Chain A
Amino acid sequence: MPAVSKGDGMRGLAVFISDIRNCKSKEAEIKRINKELANIRSKFKGDKALDGYSKKKYVCKLLFIFLLGHDIDFGHMEAVNLLSSNKYTEKQIGYLFISVLVNSNSELIRLINNAIKNDLSSRNPTFMCLALHCIANVGSREMAEAFAGEIPRILVAGDTMDSVKQSAALCLLRLYKTSPDLVLMGEWTSRVVHLLNDQHMGVVTAAISLITCLSQKNPDEFKTCVSLAVSRLSRIVSSASTDLQDYTYYFVPAPWLSCKLLRLLQCYPPPEDGAVKGRLVECLETILNKAQEPPKSKKVQHSNAKNAILFEAISLIIHYDSEPNLLVRACNQLGQFLQHRETNLRYLALESMCTLASSEFSHEAVKTHIETVINALKTERDVSVRQRAADLLYAMCDRSNAKQIVAEMLSYLETADYSIREEMVLKVAILAEKYAVDYSWYVDTILNLIRIAGDYVSEEVWYRVIQIVINRDDVQGYAAKTVFEALQAPACHENMVKVGGYILGEFGNLIAGDPRSSPLVQFNLLHSKFHLCSVPTRALLLSAYIKFINLFPETKSTIQEVLRSDSQIRNSDVELQQRAVEYLKLSSIASTDVLATVLEEMPPFPERESSILAKLKKKKGPGAVSVNELEEGKREAGELNGGGERGGDTHSPTSLPLFSQTTITHSFSHIISSSLVLEDRMQNVVKNNHKQMFFCF
C-alpha cells in the first residue's frame, strides 16, 4: 500500500491525524487540537527560523485542523512564505492552504499575487499550473484585476504547453464568472474559438467550457464556434472506439467532450448553413441509432456514458424544436426509458419528457405515454421519481386528458408527502381551471382539494374558486348545493367553511327552496362551525349572516339574536366586534330597499390581461409555460366571463354605495382576479419546496 511511499510522508502529520482519530470524545479531540495549535504557534513565533519541510508540515496540520471544522486564525503568512520556495511540495501546500483559507488581508493578497506572478512567468509548466489552479480556486476580484489580462495571452500562445493551456482556459472561465467586466476577450476571441480545432483533446475539453460560457453572454461574437463544434462532434460520433485511445471511456468515444459540444450547441439556434445543419442532424440521428444497438459492455459506466450523450442530444433536439422527425424519435426513446430497470434512467426520462411535452411537435407523442406515467406515480418507491411523474402529468395535460390527470393527481395527493402538497394543490387548481369545460367539475375538484389537503390550499386557490363561481351564473346553484353538502361532514376543514360561508351568503337562495337546505338550516349549519374557526373565518361568516338577513327575512330575528350576544358585540377582537355591531345596526335601521342595495349580489370580477402569463418566469422543466400555453391562456381568460347576462345598471360596481364597498368587500379588496397568480405562487412554492425537500425523506 503506497499510502506514504509516494513523495514524502510527513510523519508528524500522520501521527497527529492518528491521534485525532483515536480521541474518544469531542472534548478530547478539542484538547488535542488546542495542544497542537499552541505548539505550532510557538514554532512559528520561535527564534529559530523554520526549515521548509517543517513549515510545510505545520501549515498542512493547520489545514487539516481547519478542514475538520475548527477556525484557524494564523498561519497565512507562513503559507505565503511557502509559495516562494523552489521546492515543489512546499509550494503546493502553500497554494492549497491559501486556496482553502481565503484571506482578505490586503498585504497578504499583494504577496500572494506576487508569488503567482512569478510562477506564471517562470516558464516551468508545473509551476505555472500550480499558479493557475490557485487563481481558479480562489477567483477573487483582486486576482482578476492582476491576471485577467495575462491569462488569455498564455492560453493562445503557440509555445504554451497543452496542460498549461487547459488550466489557463478553466482559470479564465472562473475569473469570467466572478468578474466578467475584467475579462475582455476582444482580440483573443477568434484564437480562443480556434482552440476547438486543437489536436489535443484535453485542450478542446477545457476550452469548450470557457467558450460555452462566453457564448451565452456574447453569442454574436462567438458564433463561429457552431460549425467547428459540429464538425468536431461529427468526427467523434463516427469514430471507432479505438480511434480516440485514452479519450475513450468504457468503449464510448470522448463522452465528456461530446456532452460539452452538445451543450455548446444549445446556446445557439439551429445552424443556418444547410451543410452544417445536415451534418448535425446526421450526428443526432447516429446518436439516437446507437441507443438501439446492443451495448458493447455490461458495465454501468458504459451505459451511463452512452446515455449521458443521448440525453444531451435529446436536450438539443428539444431546444431546436424544429425537426419533427427527431422530436418524435426522441420521445420514443424516452418512452422506452420510462420502463427501464434502472431508476436513474426512469427519473431522467420523466424529467426530459416534461420539456418535450411543451413542444407542439411532440406534445401528442408524449401523451401516448400517459398510462406509464400514471403507473409510475402510483408505484415508484422513490419519492423523487414520483414527483417527476407528477410534474410530467402536469406538463402533458390538455383538454383531452385533463379529467383523467386531475383525478390521478387528486388520488396521489391523498398519500403524498407533506412537503410537496402545496405544489400539488396549486398544480391541480391550475389544471382544473385551465381545462374546465364543465365548471361544475371545476368546483368539485377544488372542493375535493380542500377536503383532501385543506391545510395546503392557499388563499389564492379558494379566492379563485369563489371568483369563478361569482362570474359564472351557470354554476352558482351547483356550487351552493355542493358546498352545502360538503359542510355537513363532521370534520370539515376551515377553508371549506370559508368557501361555504361566502357562497351560501351569495347564492344560498338558489337552494333555499328545498326544505333540507332551507335558510335556517343553512344558517345553523354555518353557525355550528363558528366557534371552531379562526378570527378571519368568523369575520367572513358574520358577513354571510348579514347577507342571509337580506336574502331570508325570516331568519332576521335568529341572526340578530346571535349578533346581539355578548360573544359578538363585546368580542375582544376589534374586527369581529365592529362587524357584529355594524351588521346589527344595519339590520335594524335599514329599510329593505337599502339593505338589498347594500347587500347586492357581488358583481363579476374583471379579468386581468393575460399578458401577465408572458411575464411568468420560465421554470426549467416541469412548470415551464410554452408559447402554446400562452395562447391557450388568452382564450381561457376570455371564456371565464361567460355564462349569461348580469343585466342592470344597478349591478355595476361604480353605482354601489361606498358603504358596501368597504364593509362587504374590504376583506376581499385585494383579490387578484387572475389564475396567473396561482402560477406565480406555484413557482415560489416549488422553489421553497426544494429548500425543504430533505424533510420528506
Chain B
Amino acid sequence: MQFMLLFSRQGKLRLQKWYVPLSDKEKKKITRELVQTVLARKPKMCSFLEWRDLKIVYKRYASLYFCCAIEDQDNELITLEIIHRYVELLDKYFGSVCELDIIFNFEKAYFILDEFLLGGEAQETSKKNVLKAIEQADLLQEVRPGPALAKQNVPLFVTV
C-alpha cells in the first residue's frame, strides 16, 4: 500500500498515512486531487478506480471515506477487507466508533493503524492480537480524568 486517507464528505482530511516518501507539497496535491475524484463518484459505482499509475480502493462508512492507494500487482478485494478490519478495530476500541472519535483521538487512530499495518503491509491479522497489543500499551499509560464528551453521532457501522 502506498498511502491511506480518511476524509469526510466535505473533503476534510481526518487521517493521512503515507507509506512512501513524498514531499509535503506532493502529499497536499495528491490529497486534493484524489479527494475530489472519490467524492465525485456515485453510490452504485464500483469500489475500485485507476488513478495515475495506482489503483485506488475506497469504501464509505457513514460519514467517512476510507481510501487506499495500492500498486498494480496488489489485490483489490483483500484491500477492501483491510479497510474493513481497520474499521472493526476502531469500532472495538472506541465502542461503536464514529467520526468524532477519530477527530478527537486522532493519535489513537494512528497507533491502532500502526499495530495493524506497518510499512503498508498487514503485520497482524488477528483482531484479538491487535487489540491485546493496544490494550497492553494503554495499561502503561497514565490515567487522567478527562471530560466526557457529548456525542450525538452516527456510528461508522453496526458491530457484527
Contacts and interface: CB of A to CB of B under 8 A. Distances in A.
Nearest to B134: A6
B10 interface: no
A167 interface: yes
A69 B28 contact: yes
A170 B137 contact: no
A202 B125 contact: yes
Contact of B133 (A14, A67, A163, A311): A163
B138 A6 contact: yes
A401 to B, nearest CB: 26
Contact of B123 (A14, A167, A346, A693): A167
B63 interface: no
A246 B123 contact: no
Given A205-B125, A697-B40, A17 B46 contact: no
A120 B5 CA distance: 30
B142 A384 contact: no
B125 A254 contact: yes
B37 interface: yes
B75 A202 contact: no
Interface string B38-70: 001100111111111100000000000000000
Given A4-B147, A14-B146, A343-B46, A171 B118 contact: yes
A87 interface: yes
Nearest to A246: B126
B156 to A, nearest CB: 13
A305 interface: yes
A381 B46 contact: no
Interface in A56-100: 60, 63-64, 67, 69, 71, 87-89, 92-93, 96
B77 A14 contact: no
B25 to A, nearest CB: 11
Contact of A11 (B16, B45, B146): B146
B93, B118, B147, B148: which has the most chain A beta carbons within 10 Å?
Answer: B118
A660 interface: no
A697 B84 CA distance: 26
B106 A64 contact: yes
A410 interface: no
Interface residues of A, number: 84
Interface in A433-492: none
Contacts of A10: 144, 146
A11 to B, nearest CB: 5
The main secondary structure of chain B at its interface with chain A is mixed
Main secondary structure of the interface of A (DSSP, over half): helix
A205 B46 CA distance: 28
Given A201-B126, A384-B45, A9 B75 contact: no
A567 B11 CA distance: 56
A299 B125 contact: no
B123 to A, nearest CB: 4
Given A3-B105, A256-B78, A694-B37, A11 B147 contact: yes
B1 to A, nearest CB: 11
A254 to B, nearest CB: 7
Interface string B83-127: 011000000011110001101111110110010001101111111
Contact of B141 (A88, A201, A620): A88
B46 A382 contact: yes
Interface stretch (A111-119, A132-140, A284-292, A674-682): A132-140
Contacts of B46: 343-344, 346-347, 382, 384-385
Contact of A7 (B82, B141, B147): B141
A348 B76 CA distance: 8
A2 B95 CA distance: 7
B88 to A, nearest CB: 9
Contacts of A259: 75, 78
A166 B124 contact: yes
Contacts of B76: 308, 344, 348
Contacts of A249: 81, 85, 125
A255 B142 CA distance: 37
Contacts of A668: none
B52 A67 contact: no
B151 A3 contact: yes
B77 A3 contact: no
* Interface-central residue, A71, A87, A133, A201, by most chain B CB under 10 Å: A133
Given A8-B141, A246-B127, A694-B40, 16 more contacts: A1-B96, A6-B138, A9-B147, A14-B104, A67-B106, A139-B21, A205-B123, A246-B126, A247-B125, A249-B81, A259-B78, A263-B73, A304-B78, A305-B78, A308-B75, A384-B50
Interface of B: 13, 16, 19, 21, 24, 28, 33, 36-37, 40-41, 44-53, 72-73, 75-78, 80-82, 84-85, 93-96, 100-101, 103-108, 110-111, 114, 118-119, 121-129, 133, 136-138, 140-149, 151, 160
5 contacts: A2-B95, A6-B93, A71-B24, A96-B111, A691-B52
What are the 10 tightest A-B residue pairs by CB atom distance, in nearest-first order? A9-B146, A308-B77, A7-B141, A4-B146, A694-B37, A88-B140, A174-B119, A308-B78, A8-B144, A170-B118
